């Protein structure tokens, strides 16, 4: 659902602030009152009235568009339109009133001025004093606050996602609580009545099989309802989000007689759960809508965090900095496998000494073992394999090294769906390989 005046509202506030700044500058400098206004104050007639109206409109070229933007948004039931209209009207009359302030060169014989001009002068002086009371710091803060309501693209390299939040989010982390670590990115807008969240829950024991994922997703909403009294479920449906098993739900709960609507989706990513939610008062229209918020969410490759210390193979002298989330597996699948580093989600890096098991093999012979592999932009081989244990397709990333009459294979291995999140990590770890003399 599109938000009426979504981009006009912040533009309108910018125009208001610029108009106020210009008016403050006009008051602080000695300016000449326009002859048309002088003529109107001394001898009011239709001609001088028309000129005065023209001057007022001309000096409000910033305020009037802001007022129209606010009216448009208010008519389209955007709650942010009304404050903009009210502020625009106030600034309009302030700017108009300043035009009646006499210049420093005007005659000092104020007693001979008509009563109408004298009243206008008093009004202008009062308005200018009000403007003088507005500090530049307050104006700057107001401008920043309004810009903070403009949707902002937020990116997290550590958790690997990007999303458009309506305002700058706050990040909270809950560490090591009964087998899981949680991260929450929260943005609050519309005077605190609407709350957007992105949750990452990292489990010590990953949810990998289809059966365990279905069980977790099916009980997710039930668990949330346990802490919400007088809850009413509207929807709770299975669906696929970005290729992952997911649930989309909506329910209402009551807090002190106030109905609060909760929309959310939850999906499984590498054995962990990710949730996107929007919580708001039932009568409020969230801006952006929950669907727009979800549509802006994208997963990104994870940043490469490698161990500060090198792992070393004493027999070959090969050294490598493994990813920080990977641990060396104790058992070896064959004599040629020097080491395998694996994380809990099934992403791994293996070091294979082909020569140890096949001493007569040449590099050209080994490459023939990957007939269906393609070569990526970095010259590494990319191969798709079916893993019968998980009944899933995996991506195999292969790099060859020759050293001291040995041929080594460095292999990155990850589920096809989330290979892109670890590809950079695999390559950066492989690039740390060196040999100790």
pLDDT, tens only, 99-129: 666 554 444 444 444 444 445 455 555 555 5
DSSP category for residue 112:
G
Cα 358 to Cα 366: distance, rounded to the nearest angstrom:
10
Residues 6+ apart with CB under 8 A from 156: 162, 185
Please identify, among 127, 147, 167, the residue that sits at the C-terminal boundary of a domain.
Answer: 147
Domain interval for residue 142? 8-147
**What percent of the chain has a predicted confidence (pLDDT) above 70?**
77
- pLDDT of 391: 81
Stated as kind and residue range, the H or E segment containing 360 is none
- Helix runs in 205-353, H state only: 210-225, 290-295
Average confidence (pLDDT) over 40-54: 64
Asked if residue 141 lies in contact with residue 117, where contact means CB atoms within 8 angstroms, the answer is no
Average confidence (pLDDT) over 361-389: 92
Cα 397 to Cα 414: distance, rounded to the nearest angstrom:
9
Using the CB atoms, write b or e for 135-163: b if 16+ within 10 Å.
Answer: eeeebeebbeebeebebeebebeebbbeb
Average confidence (pLDDT) over 121-147: 53
- pLDDT of 105: 47
Which of 108-117, 371-380, 384-393 has maximum average pLDDT?
A: 371-380
Does one domain contain both 347 and 279? no
- pLDDT of 239: 92
Average confidence (pLDDT) over 149-163: 87
Cα 316 to Cα 338: distance, rounded to the nearest angstrom:
9
Cα 303 to Cα 424: distance, rounded to the nearest angstrom:
7
pLDDT at 251 over 50: yes
Report the range of poorest mean pLDDT among 115-119, 127-131, 195-199, 272-276.
115-119
What's the mean per-residue pLDDT of the chain? 82
Does one domain contain both 230 and 242? yes
Does one domain contain both 210 and 255? yes
Report the range of poorest mean pLDDT among 60-69, 189-198, 423-432.
60-69
Please report, for residues 6, 9, 35, 206, 217, the alpha-carbon distance to residue 74 in angstroms, rounded to integers and kept in the order given: 11, 10, 38, 49, 40
pLDDT at 280 over 70: yes
Does one domain contain both 180 and 214? yes
| Number of helical (H) and strand (E) elements in the chain, helices listed first | 12, 20
Q: Is 311 helix (H, G, I), strand (E, B) or coil?
A: strand
- pLDDT of 32: 59
CATH code of the domain in which 196 resides: 3.40.1000.10
**Token pair recorded at residue 228:** 């919400």
Please identify, among 147, 181, 209, the residue that sits at the C-terminal boundary of a domain.
Answer: 147
Does one domain contain both 228 and 325? no
Asked if residue 409 lies in contact with residue 400, where contact means CB atoms within 8 angstroms, the answer is yes
């Amino acid at each position: 659902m599109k938000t009426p005046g979504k981009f006009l509202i912040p533009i309108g506030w910018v125009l208001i602030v610029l108009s106020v700044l210009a008016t403050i500058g006009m008051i602080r400098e000695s300016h000449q009152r326009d002859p048309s206004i002088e003529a109107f104050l001394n001898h009011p007639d239709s001609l001088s009235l028309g000129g005065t109206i023209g001057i007022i409109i001309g000096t409000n070229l910033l305020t009037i568009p802001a007022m129209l933007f606010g009216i448009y948004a208010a008519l389209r039931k955007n709650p942010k339109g009304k404050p903009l209209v009210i502020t625009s009207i106030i600034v309009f009359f302030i700017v108009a009133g300043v035009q009646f302030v006499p210049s420093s060169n005007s005659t000092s014989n104020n007693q001979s001025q008509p009563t109408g001009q004298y009243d206008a002068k008093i009004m202008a002086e009062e308005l200018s004093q009000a403007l003088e009371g507005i500090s530049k710091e307050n104006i700057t803060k107001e401008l920043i606050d309004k810009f903070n309501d403009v949707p902002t693209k937020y990116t997290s390299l550590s958790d690997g996602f990007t999303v458009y939040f309506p305002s700058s989010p706050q990040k909270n982390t809950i560490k090591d609580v009964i087998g899981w670590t949680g991260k929450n990115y929260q943005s609050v807008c519309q005077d605190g009545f609407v709350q957007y969240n992105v949750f990452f829950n990292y489990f010590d024991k990953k949810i990998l099989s289809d059966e365990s994922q279905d069980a977790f997703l099916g009980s997710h909403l039930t668990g949330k309802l346990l802490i919400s009294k007088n809850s009413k479920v509207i929807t709770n449906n299975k669906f696929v989000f970005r290729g992952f098993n997911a649930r989309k739900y909506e329910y209402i709960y009551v807090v002190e007689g106030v109905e609060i609507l909760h929309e959310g989706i939850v999906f499984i990513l590498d054995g962990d759960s990710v949730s996107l939610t929007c919580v708001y008062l039932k009568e409020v229209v969230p801006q952006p809508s929950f669907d727009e918020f979800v549509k802006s969410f994208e997963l990104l490759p994870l940043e490469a965090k490698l161990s500060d210390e090198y792992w070393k193979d004493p027999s070959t002298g090969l050294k490598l900095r493994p990813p920080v989330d990977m641990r060396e597996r104790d058992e070896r699948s064959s004599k040629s496998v020097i080491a395998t580093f694996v994380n809990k989600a099934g992403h791994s890096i293996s070091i294979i000494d082909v020569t140890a098991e096949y001493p007569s093999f040449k590099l050209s012979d080994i490459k023939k073992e990957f007939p269906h592999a393609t070569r990526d932009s970095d010259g590494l081989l990319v191969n798709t394999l079916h893993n019968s244990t998980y009944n899933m397709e995996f991506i195999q990333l292969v790099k060859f090294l020759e050293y001291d009459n040995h041929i080594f294979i460095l292999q990155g291995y990850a589920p096809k769906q989330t290979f892109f999140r670890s590809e950079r990590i695999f390559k950066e770890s492989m690039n740390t390989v060196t040999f100790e003399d």
